[in-house]
Amino acid sequence: MTQEHQILAMPGMTVENLRAKCATCSMHQLCLPMGLDMGDMDKLDQIIGRRRKVVRGGTLFRIGDPFTNLYAIRLGHFKTYQINANGSEQVTGFQMAGELLGMDAISADRHHCSAEALEDSEVCEIPFSSLEQLLRDMPTLLRHFHRMMSQEITREQSVMLLLGNMQATQRFAAFLVNLASRYEARGYSATAFQLRMSREEIGNYLGLTIESISRLLAKFKKEGLIRVSNREIEVLNPTKLKAITAGTEVCN
């Protein structure tokens, strides 16, 4: 059952309603499966601020910016990164349409990372103070918001696992498997997709160098696991890729 089907299984939900709502803001895509009814959705609509386009390479927010909004990605891809004390970057994540940005900023009212668009993108601004007010009257939304924050925590924990005790091959396999499953959850192909980020950004995220990524790509290609052409990826053997990720298959 795809996410769309889950959404349509909601009481009172029609394809037209769904289209109309989802067109407004990806926050709806996030909220619909959680049991929000149409009345709740309308209230949510009212607090959602303006849409904002961000061109490829443009920044949505920077480290240190005062925190006022969360951002729901409507369209496109982003990366978030931190800057080390010595000036070096660390990519902390890649986000796609339907995901929420800026939750790390709540703790200190300042953004702790920067967000940059990997392609021309569009977001909805969600003024956090309005959202928090709304959360008080809408238990379902409150619950959902907490789930989203918690999900971000678990996501980061799995990256810690990746960086903490996986070898290069396993890390890269895990990266591809993760991307594939996220595209699949959004109704796109899990076996053919485009990398929106550069080799350098992938390497930075995985704690590897650009050369290592290049070599791993070549290796997977040689072993018949994937087909690669520039940033175009086709997964030929998802099972084995998952086995490598799990550490079942020892890759040499």
Residues interacting with a second copy, by CB under 8 A?
82, 84-86, 88, 90-92, 103-108, 112-113, 132, 135-137, 139, 142-143, 146-154, 156-161, 163-166, 204-207, 245-248
User: Nearest approach, Cβ of 14 to a second copy (angstroms)?
Assistant: 29
Nearest distance from C-beta of residue 88 to a second copy, angstroms:
6
Question: Measuring CA to CA, which residue among 150, 173, 157 is closest to residue 225?
Answer: 173
> CA–CA separation, 113 vs 91, rounded Å?
9
Q: Which does 146 bind (CB under 5 to 8 A by kind): a second copy, DNA, none?
A: a second copy
Q: Which of 102, 94, 62, 64 is nearest to 77 (CA)?
A: 94
Cα 181 to chain centroid, rounded:
11
Q: Take residue 180 and report the two structure tokens written for it.
A: 């594939």
If DSSP codes are grouped into helix, strand and coil, which group holds residue 53? Answer: strand
CB of 53 vs a second copy, minimal distance in Å = 26
Nearer to a second copy, 56 or 95 (CB): 95
**Contact predicate 134/63, CB 8 Å:** no
53 vs 231, which CB is nearer to DNA?
231
What DSSP character marks residue 51? E
- Pick one of DNA, a second copy, none as the site partner of residue 164 (Cβ within 5 to 8 A by kind): a second copy
Compute the CA torsion angle 182, 77, 104, 143 (nearest 10 deg).
-50
- From the list a second copy, DNA, none, pick the one residue 231 interacts with, judged by a Cβ distance below 5 to 8 Å according to partner type: DNA
Instruction: Provide φ and ψ at 91, rounded to 5°.
Output: -70, 125
Binds 59: which of a second copy, DNA, none (CB < 5-8 Å by kind)? none
Residues at the contact surface with DNA, assessed by CB under 7 A: 167-169, 198-200, 207-215, 217-218, 228, 230-231
In whole angstroms, the minimum distance from the beta carbon of 197 to DNA comes to: 8
At closest approach, how far in Å is the CB of 211 from DNA?
Answer: 4
User: Which partner in DNA, a second copy, none is near 140 (CB below 5 to 8 A by kind)?
Assistant: none
Stretch (H or E) spanning 157: helix 139-165
What six digits make up the tokens of 49? 């601020």
